[in-house]
Amino acid sequence: MRDRDVRGPLAQESMWETVGAKLENPGLVFQRFGFVGVHDEPQSDAGSLLASAYARIHEAFCAAQQGDLYPRLYQRAAAMSSMGRTPHVSDEIEFEERVAVGLGRESVYEVGLTFHPVYGVPYIPGSTLKGLLSHFVHDAVGQQRAEFQRGGEGHRFLFGTTERDDEERNRGALIFYDALIKPEALSSLRLEVMTIHYPSYYRGLDTPHGMDDPIPVHFLSLDRPTFLLRLGMDCEDEKAGEWLAWSWDRLLDALSLWGVGGKKSSGYGRAKKKQTESVFGTTQPPSVPRAGDILRVRRIEPPNGKGGVWFETVDPPRLYGDLKGMTPQHAPAMGEIIELKLKKFRKDLSEDRVEWDRLPQATPLTRPRDGKGGTRTRRF
């Protein structure tokens, strides 16, 4: 059934009587069951409805904390950094203030909170962390090093780009995982209220004055919770570990200096400071390719409509371009890895388009295996 004044899917009263005492999914209670039993109250608005439903939502938080499913999921996620060959770093991050991620999400209460779509617990989506770090690197680090501004080589390497259709060219090297709340922190749910004193002014109907009726709006937050933060690096660069350590430090800087979620101007969403150094902290970002550097490259097919001999870098970031003066007859085989000098960037064509320069007596580093199972090398 649906309430006539506040739209939204509602569960029937009988359903809550049947499963309410056993429900361990706070998100499900918030979205489907929290509204039950309070929607018929006279002169009730969305804010007061949330206040009335808070007790049932809090009961679901306690049930999830005492249950077995989510704690086992959390422990598995915490052990993930030691599994597989992809480098990861993880740690439990404590927040020094309250956290409210997802206040602007659609809800029958006019305010929201981000709940995990499967397990129903509060979490910080990986996309939120990626956006935070991307903006922080561009705004804070990019002021000192231009390659970390949006569109620069360092920024594209870490976060990718949406300017190309090729998936491999879009993908960034960093892997962002959802930040899961610690099971013991599920009891940190709090009901708060913010009061709108000048509703006519905010609606653009009048100037601020003292004749409006203040409108209290209830919302949910987490009181100094602890989240499991995880970050990975998916690349074969020999400096992958350095990139990961540097990115991790920048993410901690962003969380402590800028915060995450809503009401950051009021101090919400800021993690406890783990670093007191400058924006660069104790680790420096690995250098990105520059003109004159010698890089490992492999031969690739020319782009559509292009001729000549083309190469792309073996290690990120991906740079590609042609080698002037080399003919296909004297070029290495497709996929062969050699060393070339980066002559210059062709930013007039593309941010990752370059021109290569041949080294004296360039020698292939690897060659396709011959029929006898050996590895061939040659000069060209």
pLDDT digits (tens, 9 = 90+) for 77-92: 988 765 566 788 889 9
- Helix or strand (DSSP H, E) at 174: strand 174-176
63: pLDDT strictly greater than 50: yes
The secondary structure of residue 122, as a DSSP letter, is: B
Domain architecture of the chain: domains with CATH: 13-266 (no CATH), 294-357 (2.40.50)
Q: Which two tokens stand for residue 140?
A: 């804070």
The DSSP symbol for 22 reads G
Question: Residue 75: phi, psi to the nearest 5?
Answer: -65, -35
Which tokens sit at 265?
């101007």
pTM of the prediction?
Answer: 0.69
Mean pLDDT, rounded, for 203-218: 81
Q: Do residues 259 and 269 make contact, with C-beta atoms less than 8 angstroms apart?
A: yes
Q: Give the pLDDT band of residue 2 (cuts 50, 70, 90).
A: very low
pLDDT of res. 292: 80
pLDDT at 169 over 90: no
3-class DSSP string for 215-268: EEEEEEEECCCEEEEEEEECCCCCCHHHHHHHHHHHHHHHHHHCCCCCCHHHCC
Q: What is the pLDDT of residue 3?
A: 39
Residue 164 pLDDT: 58
* C-beta separation of 315 from 335 below 8 A: no
Rounded CA gap, 221 and 278, in Å? 30
Residue 129 φ/ψ, nearest 5 degrees:
-65, -35
pLDDT for 174 beyond 80: yes
Helix, strand, coil shares, percent, the chain, to 5:
30, 20, 50
pLDDT of the residue at 369: 47
**Distance from C-alpha of 127 to C-alpha of 139, rounded to nearest angstrom:** 18
Q: How confident is the model at residue 31 (pLDDT cuts 50, 70, 90)?
A: confident
Of 317 and 379, the structure prediction assigns the larger pLDDT to 317
Task: Report which of residues 133 and 214 the model is more confident about.
Answer: 133
Mean pLDDT across the stretch 262-269?
Answer: 89
Tell me: pLDDT of 187 over 80: yes
Dmax over CA atoms of the chain, in Å, equals 91
127-158, pLDDT tens digit by residue?
A: 999 999 999 999 988 888 888 888 888 888 89
Lowest mean pLDDT among 41-50, 94-103, 233-242, 255-264: 41-50
Mean pLDDT over 347-374 rounds to 61
The predicted structure's pLDDT at residue 379 = 39
Lowest mean pLDDT among 15-19, 103-107, 315-319: 15-19
Q: Which residues contact 207 (CB under 8 A, 6 or more apart)?
A: 201
Per-residue pLDDT, 361: 57
The pLDDT value recorded for residue 367 is 47
pLDDT given for residue 47 in this prediction: 58
Summary mean pLDDT of the chain: 79
Mean pLDDT of 155-182: 80
Residues 6+ apart with CB under 8 A from 64: 24, 25, 26, 70, 119, 120, 121, 183, 186
CA dist 158 → 117, 226, 308 (Å): 27, 26, 30
